[in-house]
Amino acid sequence: MKRMKKWMILAAAVVLAAPVFAQTQEAFPSYIQVNGRSQMEVTPDEFYLSIVINERESKGKITVEIQQRQMIDALKKLGVDVEKQLKVANMSSDFYKKASSLTTAKYQLLLHSAAEVGDVTAALGDLGISNVGIVRVTRSDIDSLKEQVRLDAIRNAKSSAEALAGAIGQKIGKCFYIYDSNYDVAPQYYDNMMMVRSKAMMADSAEAGAPEEPSLDFKTIKLEYNVQTKFVLE
């Protein structure tokens, strides 16, 4: 009896849905379905660096406060607005025997070009600050670029539909179906730690005949969107 009731409910649902399906087919007896695509590659203009200052590297000879002042002076000489671009991420102390402590300070620095990243990391390397890594690379106008590529995708769908319909001597009418299946396009992330070498170290390598290191090269940010559409054929 239970099985019969389930089949009766299913049959009733099909019967009720049939008129709706028939009305849809009657309203649009002839249509074309196309996918629209669009993509864009842009150069990043925001580079987020992680900087860690640790007294352990200098064996306690240079305090975090002194290293911090040296770092800020070096950044200012390179034209970095430290008040806007440099943030303290974390400060901590690890206590050891004999009541000694080694303090660590973490910072986040925002830069705006690959060349600036190279200059800053070299300057930090000269100060003995080698724990520098690239946390994130993105674009300042990433949201508006996403919207632009998304709209280009629907325009591409319309253009494709017009071309296909024209090939068979027909035209397209209104679009009655748009499915936007896009996921949020995330900027490129870099989890690799970047090795910082001082100018003196690079000079020593050059004298020793070591090959010159290539310049910093960052991947472009790729934005890609797809939409599904249906147009009436006239």
| Least confidently predicted of 34-38, 109-113, 144-148, 180-184 | 180-184
Confidence category of residue 189, pLDDT binned at 50, 70, 90? very low
pLDDT digits (tens, 9 = 90+) for 124-141: 999 988 889 888 888 999
In the chain, the amino acid numbered 88 is: V
Say whether pTM exceeds 0.75. no
